[in-house]
Chains A and B, each alone.
Chain A
């Protein structure tokens, strides 16, 4: 019982500031988020999700949620002196995220597993854990902000549009917003860097977690082969066709393609060609020139709304159709049960089935859906 480090902030005052469960991947952003909350006097508990069986992945796991991430998150918790737990969501993650990922590719679409994870696994699970652990708050290391508009908590874009991660967050349960802390989105970048350095994370050289955590080396075709089998139609030979139906070559599986892709297409055309459409039934990958990619309308399903007053038909909204793309002007043309349709003021390139359409009112995230067409 001797030799424990001296207390800095006493326990009672931390308890008053509120107990917060912080989802920690082991990466810089969520580590700094935890540090910020801890420093501001919250009673912090770190939690790292184990999403799949790492022993099935060869070599050192360099993705955010890998085994190394667990150790890194733990060491940050040890350094700052708050409890940390690892919990296993393998089963839920496999069902809600990986199975969907595989099924979507098999259907010729291009899914975003991080959206699925946030929508179905991570936040829901965090809420339940937080309740059981007596945590009022939850936190993640996302670049986004929580604001109160007329007493209602809303999710807002990060100041820095390049860093904004709201594109991945439209599907989270709306009830979460009232207790969600996003300290990274509230902190200036130099400050985040400074804290990372103080925590000894500066030299960690952690890759940004854009790589999908269960897809080592970005080899998603490898994952599909594992789940679907080598001879699944999506991984079997099929035709490249022009819009008029002319066959212009063969590919080795439509799962290797996504709408808007240029790489791996037959050459010999006057202009660069792009994937325009994927038709799983005939394994056809339709290609065409860049302008044919443009589309000024879209329909989306699996909609989720993060505001009490979702946009009505006719309302002008900001729209983002892929991560990193600018928010463009659009108008809601229909809104039904879990779906909506949009008209974009200027046609957007490669509106891709499976990706998300996220709607904004100024910087407030209204919600979003998965693009059907």
Chain B
């Protein structure tokens, strides 16, 4: 905790905007913990906050919470409970899947076929595996970010030498929301004796995600995109899949993720996932309607708007990524921030500076200093009014950045009259 001073006591914290004024539309980065999830974790107080590996009564209580969370999640994902490994989050699970697979087969020159728009957790884990001797191939996507299945097929056919092969294709892309043909990709992989990993971090709770539908061998999920706590994720590992742990020192999670388990977070994860999956059908309908309206309204009011993944056959309902020519990325985000609208560019950089997104580059999109990107993502707390206000703020900000008159941007009715945009 920072020391107490006049500058950081709550009264002086300096956050000017009241809760009511702020609009949070960056749920794809982190969805704030839901009230129900806080309640579930609080109700586990005094039970889940012990070491689940301890053999005494306290430990057993914690273990019971942990396993009950695992049971809930296994039901939601359509996978036996014994195959779920809790990890530190999505990045952790992706690394465990990709690097763990490569290291488990280090002696047999393993192959990794990964789409070029995977999350960096997959891409950089694959690059690391490559430096350790794995053969890494990047699979192309089309202009909407959808995997080229023919290219996958060709690569799989090339691998007739019975080398252990892992295909990794995310269920849906975190930056542009394109849903991948994971069922087809998984079938293709299996037809050639390859294993299939999918990062379902953004897809879970937004589109139907079930391992009964898509029998992936490895699946990544995480809690904090669902309104659960940061710091816990899971990797589903099908039986017979060999994964070398990334570190050592315990038998927890069947040795795949050693270290004391986190039953409190697991409880929150399970509750968040349960709510997200239960509410999915209802929310998805509302969100996609909002997204279509917002997209149409922005298209109508801003020249040259580029809707990323706009032509994909299936998109995440809660996420819209638009490119705005003539606006600098950093200025776009800070301007919206000043308007009280929290959105992102979809990709971050360690220094906070804007770096070209590998996803947008793969789509052939222009660089971020010419065309700023706004990724807007809804969550359970989002209201239609907020979406409309955010759309107006985007228009206002873009017009100012482009040096056009601000006066014309004030109208708030445009979203309500833009149903024509639905068919775009």
Contact = CB atoms under 8 A, between A and B. Distances in A.
Interface string A348-370: 00000000000000000000000
Contacts of B11: 6, 8
B19 A2 contact: yes
Contacts of B24: 1
B67 interface: no
A11 B3 CA distance: 27
B334 A6 contact: no
Interface string B11-32: 1111111110110100000001
B400 interface: yes
A8 B330 contact: no
Contacts of B405: none
A9 B12 CA distance: 9
A35 B7 contact: yes
8 contacts: A5-B15, A14-B16, A80-B14, A86-B352, A132-B331, A133-B335, A133-B338, A134-B335
Given A7-B16, A7-B17, A132-B331, A79 B7 contact: yes
Interface string A54-87: 1000000000000100110010000111111111
Contacts of A19: 338
Nearest to A66: B351
Contacts of A14: 16
B17 A198 contact: no
A323 interface: no
Rank and list the top 8 A-B pairs by shortest CB-CB distance, nearest first.
A81-B14, A5-B13, A85-B334, A81-B15, A83-B337, A5-B15, A86-B353, A86-B352
Given A3-B32, A86-B353, A79 B16 contact: no
B300 interface: no
Interface of chain B, helix or strand or loop or mixed? loop
B18 A87 contact: no
A87 B328 contact: yes
Given A45-B334, A80-B7, A85-B333, A1 B32 contact: yes
A4 B22 contact: yes
Interface residues of A, number: 42
A174 interface: no
Given A4-B17, A82-B16, A132-B331, 7 more contacts: A1-B24, A5-B13, A50-B351, A67-B350, A70-B352, A88-B330, A134-B400
Contacts of A9: 16
B141 interface: no
Q: Which among A6, A14, A47 has the greatest number of chain B C-beta atoms within 10 A?
A: A6
B331 A129 contact: yes
A70 B351 contact: yes
A314 to B, nearest CB: 45
B12 A85 contact: no
A27 B381 CA distance: 38
Contacts of B400: 132, 134
Interface in B367-392: 369, 381
A8 B16 contact: yes
B334 to A, nearest CB: 4
Contacts of A6: 10-11, 13, 15, 18
A87 B338 contact: no
Contacts of A3: 32
Nearest to A91: B369
Nearest to A69: B351
B19 A1 contact: yes
Interface in A337-353: none
- What interface size band does chain B fall in? 35 or more
A43 interface: yes
B18 to A, nearest CB: 5
A38 interface: yes
B353 A8 contact: no
Given A85-B333, A86-B352, A7 B7 contact: no
A31 to B, nearest CB: 11
B354 A86 contact: yes
A10 interface: yes
A200 interface: yes
Nearest to B2: A200
B249 to A, nearest CB: 30
A103 interface: no
B12 A70 contact: no
A199 interface: yes
B353 A88 contact: yes
Contacts of A11: 16-18, 21, 340
A134 B339 CA distance: 11
B326 to A, nearest CB: 11
A141 B147 CA distance: 50
A132 B350 CA distance: 25
Could you say which of A8, A43, A54, A71 has the most chain B C-beta atoms within 10 Å of its C-beta? A8
Given A83-B338, A134-B400, A38 B14 contact: yes
A192 to B, nearest CB: 14
Interface string B27-65: 000001001000000000000000000000000000000
Nearest to B406: A134
Interface in A124-176: 129, 132-134
B330 A43 contact: no
Contacts of A43: 16, 338
Nearest to B6: A198
A71 B353 CA distance: 10
Contacts of B12: 8
A11 B330 CA distance: 22
Contact of B331 (A2, A133, A199): A133
A5 B16 CA distance: 9
B7 A198 contact: yes
B334 A74 contact: no
Contacts of B7: 35, 79-80, 198-199
